[in-house]
Amino acid sequence: MSVNLPQETQAHPHHPELGFLRKYIFSDDHKTIGIQFQGFLEDLHPVSDTGKLAKATLKAYGPLSGVNKDGTKVPMQTNVLTGTAVGVVLDENGWPAADRSIDAGKTTMSRWWAGDVYGLYALRELEQTEGGFIRETKDGKIAFEDRHHRLVSPHIVSQATYSDAGGSLGYRNPKQGNPFKESFGIVRAKVKVYTVGALAVLWTMGETGASSPSMNPGKSRTFWAHFPNPDSATNAVGVDVWTAPVASTDYTVNSAADGSGTDITASVSVAVSKFDESMKITLTNNDATLPGYLTLLQARGTPITVSDPIAVTAEDATSIAYPKEYVMKAEGLPSTAVAQNRVDFELSARKGAIPVLTLNVLANSDSTHLVEALTRDVSDRITVVCGDFGINGSFFVEKMSHTLANNVHQVALECSDATPFGGFWVLGTSALGSTTKLAY
């Protein structure tokens, strides 16, 4: 059976300088069996070889490259689920709603925001807080799987059995990775507690007296108030609510720089745009004849401060990995109670050896293997029987790689043991305490 890889390109939805690449896999009767990749075409290199088949090398990146913009700013969110926050990050990066598959999430963050970071960094932070999984789908979507995603149907049932002892699905050259790589005897996390303070002056313009900014008739001046700033408390992190500037209280405009002359504050209009750590203030002198000087400008609001991080730990001195540590980069854990549940759960799953396997499947050996190779996906549960390694159990597919060369289509399935993250009690399905355990 021959396997071909025609390509199709179209405009990149977010970066016009790039193309959009679709990769199809065809059967020998030239009917499309399945899309295995959609991403952004970054580079194309034609290869000249006189008298031989024309070739080109295409370099493309997946959907996550389309949201990994520097300077991603996410407005402050309060009491927000991790899945909702993922959606906000994608919105801020202009990612279409139709091209995402987002679980709601199981962790509610009391306060979370992102300022001037790469989009992927913000997503990974949410992934760590939830204990979930950010990934790309075959059909070009960005997916967020929360930590219960693999605990419910269809992920609690094996979708296929790969065996070296015969059967419809075989594999070759199995490789076993380091089973202790993801094992830990100590798991740590930190919790930050945020406090909203009383209304206060958070920023004051430094130019006064003879240095007071001038405002000609009919003209506007724009200023940015920032908080925290050098005059702020060291534990200040942002602003809960900015107060719109009030005439004569927060800004004063006089016809003389020293504050004398005519007070024309009433002739000045103000417009603001509020952000988590700044407020844009635009003042317009609407007086028909008098120039003005801005002798006072301040910004008030309710400041947010953060406590020293509270460390939460779970450890098992009998673990094969003790004292190896796993420090969670979970910035949004809302309380020590939630954090303790999280580290306890991670320790219970990671304190033992976690078998990791790579199976190489010859996809075009027959139609059964080809359909299986094109059907299987990341997060699917499969059964693996490997006599050489003494393995007969359930695994999750963590990564898939397709390689085509000389009419050979091979698929590498990288799999992790499902046992540490399986066998949990499911409402309405399982009997607690028999063969199941509680999950977080």
- Per-residue pLDDT of 188-223, as tens digits, reads 999 999 999 999 999 999 998 889 999 999 999 999
Last residue of a domain, which of 322, 350, 378? 350
Pairwise CA distance, residues 184 & 347, whole Å: 7
Q: Are both 126 and 152 inside the same structural domain?
A: yes
Q: Which of 370, 376, 364, 366 is nearest to 414 (CA)?
A: 376
Of 326, 350, 374, the last residue of a domain is 350
Domain-embedded: residue 425: no
The one-character DSSP state at 314 is: E
Q: Are residues 225 and 266 in the same domain?
A: yes
Does 261 lie in the same domain as 283? yes
Can you say how many angstroms the Cα of residue 437 is from the centroid of all Cα atoms in its chain? 29
How does pLDDT run across 75-134, given as a tens digit for each residue?
A: 889 999 999 999 999 999 999 999 999 999 999 999 998 878 899 999 999 999 999 999
Is position 249 within any domain? yes
Beta carbons within 10 angstroms of residue 32's beta carbon: 10
Report yes or no on 2 lying in a domain.
no
Contact 156, 379 (CB under 8 A): no
Residue 81 maps to a domain: yes
- Judge if 315 and 302 occupy the same domain: no
Q: By the 8 A CB rule, do 422 and 156 touch?
A: yes
Say whether both 114 and 169 belong to one domain: yes
Which residue, chain included where needed, has tokens 């390109």? 9
Query: Could you give the number of structural domains in the chain?
Result: 4
Domain-terminating residue out of 273, 306, 339: 306
The Cα–Cα gap between 243 and 274 comes to 9
Residue 440 lies in a domain: no
Return phi, psi of residue 106, to 5°: -115, -10
pLDDT of residue 8: 43
Query: How many residues would you count in the chain?
Result: 440
Whether residues 217 and 265 fall in one domain: yes
Residue 25 shares a structural domain with residue 99:
no
Same domain, 175 and 272: no
E runs forming strands in 342-429: 356-362, 381-386, 391-405, 408-417
Q: How far is Cα 193 from Cα 105, in angstroms, rounded to an integer?
A: 21
User: Is residue 19 predicted with pLDDT exceeding 60?
Assistant: no
Say which CATH number the domain at 391 has.
Answer: 2.40.30.150
The 10s digit of each residue's pLDDT in 410-434 is 999 999 998 876 555 555 555 544 4
Same domain, 332 and 277: no
Q: What is the mean pLDDT of the chain?
A: 86
What the block records as the tokens of 143 is 């997916």
Say whether both 54 and 80 belong to one domain: no
Residue 51 forms part of a structural domain? yes
Range of the domain at 34: 7-61
Q: What are phi and psi of 436, to 5 degrees?
A: -125, 170
pLDDT tens digits, 343-382 = 998 998 889 888 899 999 998 888 899 889 889 999 999 9
> Same domain for 106 and 175?
yes
Taking the complete model, does pTM exceed 0.85, yes or no? no
Residue 77 in any domain: the answer is: yes
What does residue 138 show for φ and ψ, rounded to 5 degrees? Answer: -60, -35
d(CA 175, CA 382): 16
Q: What is the pLDDT of residue 423?
A: 53
pLDDT tens for 55-73 read 888 888 889 988 988 888 8
Query: What's 63-128 look like in SS3?
Result: HHHHCCCCCEEEEEEEEEEHHHHHHHHHHHCCCCHHHEEECCCCCEEEEEEEEEECHHHHHHHHHH
